[in-house]
């Protein structure tokens, strides 16, 4: 594949090295800093680095520390709310569910950002991502009374801030699916 910039030798060598350092740090934690753990650790760090390079040869994203920290705080808060919400629905004798499948037109473009977006949405109160199609994400909503659109827009902005991305002007709204109207509680 033709590329416009030829990466220097140092950059080519740095890439596997950086990843190996990250995996070594993970192993070090898993082995609880036991030096004997490296007998298994070194081969697995090598395998993990190889797998990582095969699956994602180039890292396209950059993480912004401020955005990432703010995201982490928001994530913890929302996953607490999400867990409480679904637990109460499960325990209440009346089983308060009124599910709906919706589609959301994403303003995030890069695939890695969409993956983080989808994973975050699944831990938010009442929403579960269930597939991508072109620029839309399909999601299952536990209760059609929830104001999903506003929280999706909010999460999308926070995910964009993690990577320092600009959101596209198009999208950011719910689209109907299966012939039903948006917010249709019947």
Partner 1 sequence: MIGWISIALIATGAFFFMAGSTGVLRFPDVYTRLHALTKADNLGLGFVVLGLSLRADSWIVVLKMLLIWSLVIVAGATASHLVAEAARMSNVPPWRKRS
Q: Using CB under 8 A, list all residues that contact partner 1.
A: 26, 29-30, 32-33, 79-80, 82-91, 95, 97-101, 115, 118-120, 122-123, 125-126, 128-131, 138, 140, 142, 186
**20/118 with CB nearer partner 1:** 118
- Candidates 102, 88, 91; CA nearest to 151 is 102
Rounded Cα gap, residues 29 and 35, in angstroms:
11
At its nearest, how many Å lie between partner 1 and the CB of residue 140? 4
At its nearest, how many Å lie between partner 1 and the CB of residue 79? 6
99: left (phi over 0), alpha (psi -120 to 50) or beta: beta
Work out the number of other CB atoms within 10 angstroms of the CB of residue 58: 7
At its nearest, how many Å lie between partner 1 and the CB of residue 18? 19
**2/179 with CB nearer partner 1:** 179
Work out the number of other CB atoms within 10 angstroms of the CB of residue 149: 15
**134/166 with CB nearer partner 1:** 134
**7/110 with CB nearer partner 1:** 110
Strands (E), the chain: 100-105, 127-133, 136-141, 174-175
At its nearest, how many Å lie between partner 1 and the CB of residue 154? 18
**Taking the CA atoms of the chain, what radius of gyration do you get in angstroms?**
21
Rounded Cα gap, residues 78 and 96, in angstroms:
20
User: Is residue 143 within 8 Å of residue 98, measured between CB atoms?
Assistant: yes
Q: Look up residue 132 and give its two tokens.
A: 């991508």
**88/166 with CB nearer partner 1:** 88
**14/21 with CB nearer partner 1:** 21
At its nearest, how many Å lie between partner 1 and the CB of residue 11? 28
At its nearest, how many Å lie between partner 1 and the CB of residue 8? 33
Q: Look up residue 127 and give its two tokens.
A: 């929403």
């Amino acid at each position: 594949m033709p590329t416009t910039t030829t990466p220097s030798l140092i950059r080519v060598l740095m890439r596997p090295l950086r990843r190996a350092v990250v995996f070594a740090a993970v192993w070090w934690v898993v082995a609880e800093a036991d030096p004997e753990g490296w007998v298994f650790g070194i081969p697995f760090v090598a395998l993990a680095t190889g797998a990582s390079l095969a699956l994602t040869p180039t890292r396209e994203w950059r993480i912004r520390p401020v955005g990432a920290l703010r995201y982490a705080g928001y994530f913890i808060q929302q996953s607490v709310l999400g867990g409480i919400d679904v637990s109460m629905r499960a325990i209440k004798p009346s089983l308060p569910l009124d599910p709906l499948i919706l589609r959301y037109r994403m303003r995030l473009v890069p695939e890695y950002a969409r993956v983080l977006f989808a994973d975050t949405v699944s831990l938010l109160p009442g929403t579960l991502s269930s597939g991508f199609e072109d620029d839309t994400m399909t999601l299952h909503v536990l209760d059609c009374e929830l104001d999903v659109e506003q929280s999706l827009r909010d999460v999308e902005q926070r995910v964009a801030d993690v990577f320092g991305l600009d959101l596209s002007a198009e999208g950011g709204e719910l689209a109907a699916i299966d012939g039903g109207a948006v917010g249709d509680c019947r």
